Amino acid sequence: MNLAMYIVDAFAEERFKGNPAAVVPLTEWLPEDTMQAIAAENNLSETAFLVHQSDGRFHIRWFSPLSEIPFCGHATLASAYVLLNELGSIAPLVFHAKAVGDIVVRTAEDGLIAMRFPNRMPEAVPEPPADLLEGLGVAPVEVWRNGQAYIAVYAHANDVRALQPDMASLRRLAPLDVCVTAAGDAEGVDFVSRYFWPANGGFEDPVTGSIHAGLAPFWAARLGRNALRAMQVSARTGILYCGVDDEGITVAGKAVRYLRGVISLSG
């Protein structure tokens, strides 16, 4: 059996930036252990598998090298890019995932691909767990959390850039990951972030679309505006355009194809 596979740099305007995701379109689901093996072989933050259903929706599943992930933004953006630019689909697209329901994707100005996410506004954590504080090393100003991650807020963007967390401590926070964030310090950047997920995928995720369903409403409330430009300040960096309204969150970005290939599952 041969399967088409694409690798796309998501939330990037040029190759080797943003977050690379593999996209594997299917006619029917493969066995879970096979999908997990493919994701481990790819060794990217996520590999997305798609099945086009009779109702027009694309059912989507995301696998890190370690496990299946309930919600992934950058691999959804990569999947939309493949459908729109490689496979002839026309926007709007509707993806469906068990944990988040329908994700509607539209094209926007300047080549942006815009995804609609549920609002996952975090809640304050008055007494952060010791493993979080130990793992971060530098105490944050405050800590919040939603169903995906602890969100540690720092006073300055450079605090976020300089952080060197202890992964062993953060791994003990499973199943939650850890995001660190601060207000932006560059023109046109409203807030910055980094994302660590040793329990679910690896050391540091280059760009994490899903956590912006929580970061966007948090910073919208802090900054008093609902249209925000975010930068994830990992080594690869990535730009995300976020919007907040009464019905949910929009997270938009650009993408660039890096690879078009074939997976061989036969001998």
Residue 194 CB partners (closer than 8 Å, separation 6+): 160, 161, 163, 179, 180, 181, 204, 232, 233, 234
Query: Looking up tokens 């995301």, which residue turns up?
Result: 62
Q: What are phi and psi of 123, to 5 degrees?
A: -115, 150
Inter-residue contact 71 to 97 (CB < 8 Å) = yes
Cα–Cα distance measured from residue 160 to residue 65, given in angstroms and rounded to the nearest whole number: 26
Please count the other Cβ atoms lying within 10 Å of the Cβ belonging to residue 139. Answer: 12
**Catalytic status, residue 46:** yes
List the catalytic residue out of 28, 41, 46, 204.
46
Distance in angstroms (rounded) separating the CA atoms of residues 205 and 53: 30
- The architecture that CATH gives domain 2-115+253-264 is Roll (3.10)
| CATH of region 123-251, choose from 3.10.310.10, 3.90.550.10, 3.50.50.60, 3.40.309.10 | 3.10.310.10
Which regions in the chain score pLDDT beneath 70?
A: 267
Supply the pLDDT for residue 90. Answer: 96
Tell which residue, 28, 26, 236, 240, has the closest CA to residue 47.
Answer: 26
H-run or E-run covering 26: strand 19-26
Residues of the chain with CATH 3.10.310.10: 2-115+253-264, 123-251
Separation between Cα atoms, residue 159 and residue 73, nearest integer Å: 25
Partners of 183 in beta bridges:
191
pLDDT score at 218: 98
CA distance 96 to 132: 32
**Secondary-structure percent of the chain, ordered helix, strand, coil, rounded to 5:** 20, 40, 40
Own/partner contacts of 40-45, CB < 8 Å, gap of 24 or more, are 40/65, 40/66, 42/7, 44/7, 44/20, 45/19, 45/20, 45/21, 45/72, 45/74, 45/75, 45/201, 45/202, 45/205, 45/206
Residue 266's pLDDT is 83
* CA angle (24, 66, 178) in 5-degree steps: 110
Residue 267: what pLDDT?
A: 67
